[in-house]
Chains A and B, each alone.
Chain A
């Protein structure tokens, strides 16, 4: 009898636990807004980095480029951000000129940081021709 009550007690705890978790995760989740750039999908991040690369190609201002990259995701090094963008851009078959812009930014970021994340050399060169 005592075991039965204990079992039911555990069961009621589990039911409450499930209800509480369901409330926070399913019934009333946080609104889908006010998100940080770091939550962007990989292809949007790649385009974000491409914009930084396009601006850098125009003005050559590396500190500005680094600041913009850190706005995308402060938890990653700029070299890592550009490397991931290069991989995504390569996967998505970006145009060679865009890959070249990303590569140029990657090299500049790489040279500015000592011991940063290595940029995959295979992604550094645009592949294919128009």
Chain B
């Protein structure tokens, strides 16, 4: 009689105790962890490291399709822009110019290869099969394996990738390293007042001996009492691989130098017409 009067609150109590314990286990003690992930799921720092590695590896092997395939794993909406932005960030944070240059060179190379047509299909299934022909897509889907504290909910075996047997692909000849101390000669310097350049924009265009735009060339701008800014061509490949720009401030006079041994362009200021400057250099002289 007494028990019946107590009702069924004990059921709710048990449910709440169990619920609390279950939440404690699943959210705190043994939360779900992922394994066998793909590069697109990496955190931003790791993605930046991945991009940097791809760029440096490209510098080492000169293999554009392979670099393209690797970058596509990150599933960036615009890989070239990401590369350029990362290079800018590195320079802005005082990082290694070599790493920034590698990123810029890769962005430039990719923009060149994209204009000739994409080689590597993008998407999650483009597994990096370094040994195989880098231009070939590989089969297998990326499937997630969810890991909890002790128990692993394995949906797939660890290596489901059925990589095609490699047929050895001769590597493209590595791009010869840029001769950064080549003298660059000023071939054109003109004020742009037609509104095609924003006010105070200093646009630099560097071409090689063959007339092709040159990426990865350092541009040094100095002003005031020893203030400097160094940036590289190729960080805006959508404009030109040999393009770089700088935003001048009114009332300040700038000096521009391209490469290690070019003549300096002095007396650059925001034009009175409110436009910008376009300055062109050619490797080895005009």
Contacts and interface: CB of A to CB of B under 8 A. Distances in A.
A30 interface: yes
A14 B21 CA distance: 10
Given A24-B22, A25-B26, A16 B17 contact: yes
B180 interface: no
A87 to B, nearest CB: 10
B39 A1 contact: no
Interface string B1-43: 0010000001111111111111111110001111111110111
B210 to A, nearest CB: 25
Contact of B37 (A40, A51, A59, A93): A40
Interface string B153-178: 00000110101011111010000000
A130 B240 CA distance: 39
B61 A36 contact: no
Contacts of B23: 20, 23-24
Contact of A55 (B12, B53, B127, B161): B53
A9 B14 contact: yes
A101 B146 CA distance: 33
Interface in A1-30: 1-2, 5, 8-25, 29-30
B43 A34 contact: yes
A32 B41 CA distance: 6
A9 B131 contact: no
A13 B34 contact: no
Contact of A35 (B16, B43, B70, B159): B43
Given A16-B21, A18-B22, A5 B3 contact: yes
A39 B35 contact: yes
Contacts, number: 203
Contacts of A22: 22, 26
Given A25-B32, A29-B32, A48-B53, A94 B15 contact: no
Interface residues of A, number: 60
Interface residues of B, number: 64
Contacts of B35: 39
B119 interface: no
Nearest to A55: B56
Given A41-B142, A88-B159, A19 B22 contact: yes
Contacts of B132: 93-95
A23 B22 contact: yes
Interface in B128-145: 128-132, 142, 144
Contacts of B12: 12
A57 B149 CA distance: 39
B54 interface: yes
Nearest to A94: B131
Interface in A26-58: 29-30, 32-37, 39-44, 46-48, 50-52, 54-55, 57-58
A3 B158 CA distance: 47
Interface of A: 1-2, 5, 8-25, 29-30, 32-37, 39-44, 46-48, 50-52, 54-55, 57-59, 68, 71, 88-89, 91-99, 130
Interface of B: 3, 10-27, 31-39, 41-44, 46, 49-50, 53-54, 56-57, 59-61, 70, 73, 127-132, 142, 144, 146, 148, 158-159, 161, 163, 165-169, 171
The 7 A-B pairs at the shortest CB distance, nearest first, are namely A20-B22, A24-B26, A16-B18, A94-B131, A12-B14, A130-B168, A58-B60
